Amino acid sequence: MVNETFIYDDSFLSEKEIQEVEDLFNSSSNRWMYSDLSIQKDHQEYETIVSSEKFGDSQYFVLYPEHQDDAYMVSQKIINRFTEKHKIKYNQLLRVKLNMTPSGAEPIVTYPHIDDTNPHYIFLYYVNDSQGDTIIYNETYNGSKIDNVSVMTRISPKRGAAFIIDGRHFHSLTVPNNGDLRRVINANLFYI
């Protein structure tokens, strides 16, 4: 059963572990892929198109680690540390990805969306301090498009912090605009 409570924690890792994640992102062996859309086309069936004037999209770089990769192992370690501390149960780690969003000329809030229609948690870990708030909306996916969204909370990227929330909540990111590079680990955890 999903815990509707939003859980944020900025003290669940040691400085050594936080540095391990930074080193992972800075590794020259990473094969980052460029994407000119933060909301992929397969999300269109359940993304919220509220107003084209209000929301936009952005480019970013993504790395999808394989199960045997260091990036996957480090990500899983962080997720497990967080979920064990907060007694969150999940059945399957559906997707892990490392994201880097470069700054834009102006702040853009991306289209509100969900990552999957199946029951899941969103887990987001902030690798560095930067601009680029994550916005969680009160509205949740129920199979229908919605006309408006209202902000439940905004989370500013803080090095070493993470949060988890029911994945039915629509969410967006704000693209940084002061030269920052927003770096996060994003995961979807299935539960039954």
Annotated domain spans of the chain: 7-190
Q: What is the pLDDT of residues 32-90, one digit of tens each?
A: 999 886 665 444 444 444 555 678 888 889 999 988 789 999 999 999 999 999 999 99
For residue 47, give the H/E element and its range.
none
Q: Which among 186, 2, 168, 23 is positioned nearest to 94, based on CA atoms?
A: 186
CB neighbours of residue 54 within 10 Å: 11
| pTM > 0.75: yes or no | yes
Sequence-distant (≥ 6) Cβ neighbours of residue 169 within 8 angstroms: 114, 122, 136, 137, 138, 139, 140, 152
CATH code assigned to 7-190:
2.60.120.620
Mean pLDDT rounded to a whole number for the chain = 87
